[in-house]
Structure 1
Amino acid sequence: MGKMVPESMILRVFEGLCCIDPGVPLPPGGGVCREQLVIFLADTLRGTAEERAPLVMAMSYGTKMMATTDQIKAFLEDLISAVVQTLTYKGHLRGWSIDRMGDAAQGASLLAEQLSSELKPSDENVCDVACLEQWLLRVSGVAAFLELLIGEALEVGLTSRPAPTLLPLCGDAPWTSLHSLLDLPLLMFLIPQLPAGDRAPWTLLFSTSVHGESFTRLVGNCKGRGPSVLLVKDTKGHIFGGFASQSWEIKPQFQGDSRCFLFSVYPSMRVFTCTGYNQHYMYLNQGQQTMPNGLGMGGQHGYFGLWLDCDFGRGHSRARPRCTTYGSPQLSGDEDFTLDTVEVWGTGLPPEEQEQGENKKSVLDVDPEAQALLEMTGKRLHSQGFREPEDDG
């Protein structure tokens, strides 16, 4: 593992190995035995939350009974950093250019804080094994990080369970002129939040560093392009954004659906999903005299959770105290902020491409339940064996 991850993570893995009771005498003079290694690999690669919890406790340098939330956060930061280094070393960046992206070390710290904030300790800042079990059941990312790190770094794979894919594919991006607000830990945080169908290669639609500071260019590049992720950095250094589940369209009404969400990146990494209070998910308007002109998500006219004015360079995030649509607090450094950077990535197929793909598929591929119903009623599947389903990849 020393080729790709820091010594601190190797020592944590060793602690995880040592905490396992192998049921046989240990080697004289210290070290670990084969049985401990086999159990460790089984538990990290395909174990349950109950089996993984004691390993996390040991790798956090806790006792057999408890670990502090600070210890778990430090373990997570080491784990996420090691995953980033492993992906880079193994060439599994899937088209992303880490040298032209945000600070992965800062991203690892922010993601570690976000994951540890999901802990529900029984005592103040102290977690027992039961607390870790419940946490691992709720937060799937920790298990995925462990699976990838151990599987790739120790070169141990399971044919029945391939290593998790933590990053989306990146389509062509102008990396020579782009310095993205995204970093790898942020991508690893955002991907599980997206609807399952929106997993197409990410494509850059707009960036101020590439396309300049133009609201007209922003609108022209993003409308009709399918689902997208919007990222904003203000001049106070706050980074935040939103996921638009549908294509942006210019019209004086709200649009989108309940799959939309807002998120913050810095100074803390959080996601804010729909409250159900209203349906003010997305708004885009330009050239109207009677309605606000700009791009917004959540809240209401004049009090958006995230708003970019058509007069490019200004925006607001007015929660007071929470956005009605998403339950988000003020995301920007100041309620009325000045833009530093705006970036939009397409995360799904534009509507026309999606429709073409669905038309090419048999109903048996689009709806597996239809196939099951046909089989239950005794109908012959005449095309079975003569056709191959379309590959979604």
Structure 2
Amino acid sequence: MGNASGKRESDNMYTSEEMRMLESAYKNASGGALERLTSDRLVETWSQTIERSLAESTAQFLFIPTKPGQQTVNIPLKKFAEPYYIMERGTMDQKMHMLLCSLRRNGADHFNVKQLEQYLYSVIKSYVHLETTAKGSSIKDWQELGFLTTERSACSLAKGLMRNMGKELEHSMHSEALERWLHVTPQFLLMWREVFVQLYSRHGGSKRHIIKEVEIPILPELCDAPSHSQYRPIIELPHVLYINAQLTRELRHKWRFLFSSKIHGESFSTMLGKIVDKGPTLFFIEDEDQYIFGGYASQSWALKPQFCGDDSSLLFTLSPAMRCFSATGYNDHYQYMNLNQQTMPNGLGMGGQFEFWGLWIDCMFGDGQSVETCSTYRDYVQLSKRKQFKIRNMEVWAVGDLPVKGEDEEGGDGQKRSILDSNLEDRAMLEIAGKTMHSDGLREPGMDD
């Protein structure tokens, strides 16, 4: 009778398709025995699909004793389905309860930062594994291009997700701190949900279509991938996941490859020709100290003596640590690119001011700068190990869809571009060589005023 009433209650919580999936997943985990699902059996079954430590933490949540001093030996279907329900329909309080119970040891009312870091690591690794074995997942395109998921980069992503805890990282944590963190870390919530929804659907033999799709892409589609045999990515998959989550929602679905110094050569003019009018872009730089860092430019690049861009622009570091620096609003020095000027800097800059850049790439290519302080970006720290750095490798990716052709004929400020601004790569090479563009004075009235 108890099992029948529990089943009727569960029926009201799920669709008929979900109930079939959950019942099948329960039988799969219990070996077909009703009301006989033990913790050991659950961990062994789920460890085939997700990280064992994540399976053990979740079993700890599911097998919490109902009364002090008692041990829960078996769990029914309704209890087994709780993580799925919480991920799909649960409140933030329910998510908090599940996470706390998964982290706590021996009934303690607190947990340490290392426990949370390990839990995040297990979610990240489980997500990558599930996506790797999923039909039609875009992760395979990234992996075939050489994007790896090493233990180091997965751990770095876990620490990067925790960075906004601030000083609380130094101490044991209580539920209030965890709740604040959950509210400001939607990337974890999305990945966490995806892991558990896929876990249940896999073991329940379900088709993906009964599970509502993630509204915000976690991993972008890879477009215009380089086919060059010399291509070796600077970054790894966890870096892609981290940076993609920092972008505005409408840009997270797609990354388009534009430039690699290993493929296209160490040429500022070539890079310029690849990135102008391509929409928002991401820069990834590896210096000779093997630091990896870069920036996000929110508007299409154009040659001009003024700063452009907006406050969605970012600077970031990826190795040895993942950190992201958002705009302060103190100034609007987000994007700058200029050439062949005697009284102004020639190169590409993001943040800071002339001669004191948050990120600077000189027009001669190979040399760069990242200063100790930058008022353009909040909580900024120097990106590179040395203030003046040497570029070892560099890539540029556009994000989102390619701007429509009509927009390409306008500058970043919405003004119509002159025909003199076409063939920018050839023009850049001439300007770097010191050849004067005499026809610049013949622009149509009203252009580039």
Equivalent pair of 1:60/1:67 in contact (CA under 8 Å): yes
> Which residue, 129, 150, 154 being the options, matches 1:85?
129
Question: 1:134 deviation in Å?
Answer: 2.1
Q: How does 1:173-322 map to 2 (within 5 A)?
A: 173-175=225-227, 176-199=229-252, 201-319=254-372, 322=373
Counterparts of 1:251 and 1:355, CA distance in 2: 17
Question: 1:17 deviation in Å?
Answer: 1.9
Equivalent pair of 1:16/1:40 in contact (CA under 8 Å): no
Equivalent pair of 2:219/2:253 in contact (CA under 8 Å): no
Equivalent pair of 2:163/2:323 in contact (CA under 8 Å): no
SS, match of residue 298 in structure 1:
strand
Counterparts of 1:41 and 1:107, CA distance in 2: 28
SS, match of residue 236 in structure 1:
coil
What root-mean-square deviation, in Å, do the aligned CA atoms of Structure 1 and Structure 2 show? Answer: 2.5
Deviation digits for residues 296-340 of structure 1, max 9, x if unmatched?
Answer: 100011110001111211101013xx2111132100011111111
Q: Which amino acid aligns with 1:90?
A: A
1:71 aligns with 2:122: no
> Which residue, 148, 151, 155 being the options, matches 1:105?
151
- Name the larger-Rg structure: 2
Counterparts of 2:86 and 2:108, CA distance in 1: 17
> Which residue, 98, 103, 119 being the options, matches 2:165?
119
> Which residue, 80, 92, 96 being the options, matches 1:49?
92
Question: 1:281 deviation in Å?
Answer: 0.5
Counterparts of 2:65 and 2:386, CA distance in 1: 51
- Per the alignment, residue 166 of structure 1 pairs with 218
Shift of the 6–255 alpha-carbon distance from structure 1 to 2, 3 Å rule, reads same
> Which residue, 47, 58, 74 being the options, matches 1:13?
58
Normalising by structure 2, we get a TM-score of 0.72
Counterparts of 1:210 and 1:124, CA distance in 2: 43
Shift of the 124–178 alpha-carbon distance from structure 1 to 2, 3 Å rule, reads closer
Counterparts of 2:366 and 2:200, CA distance in 1: 49
Question: 1:61 deviation in Å?
Answer: 4.5
Question: 1:246 deviation in Å?
Answer: 0.6
Where structure 2 has 5 or more consecutive residues not aligned to the other structure, the ranges are 1-45, 409-449
After superposing the two structures, state which structure 1 stretch, 171-180 or 308-317, moved more. Answer: 171-180
- Per the alignment, residue 196 of structure 2 pairs with 150
Shift of the 323–227 alpha-carbon distance from structure 1 to 2, 3 Å rule, reads same
Q: Which amino acid aligns with 1:82?
A: S
Q: Aligned pair count?
A: 350
Deviation digits for residues 269-304 of structure 1, max 9, x if unmatched?
Answer: 111111111111011112222211111100011110
Determine which structure has the larger helix proportion and give its number. Answer: 2
Shift of the 77–348 alpha-carbon distance from structure 1 to 2, 3 Å rule, reads same
Deviation digits for residues 52-84 of structure 1, max 9, x if unmatched?
Answer: 122222323544521111111111111111111
**What percent identity do the matched residue pairs reach?**
30
Normalising by structure 1, we get a TM-score of 0.82
Counterparts of 2:77 and 2:71, CA distance in 1: 9
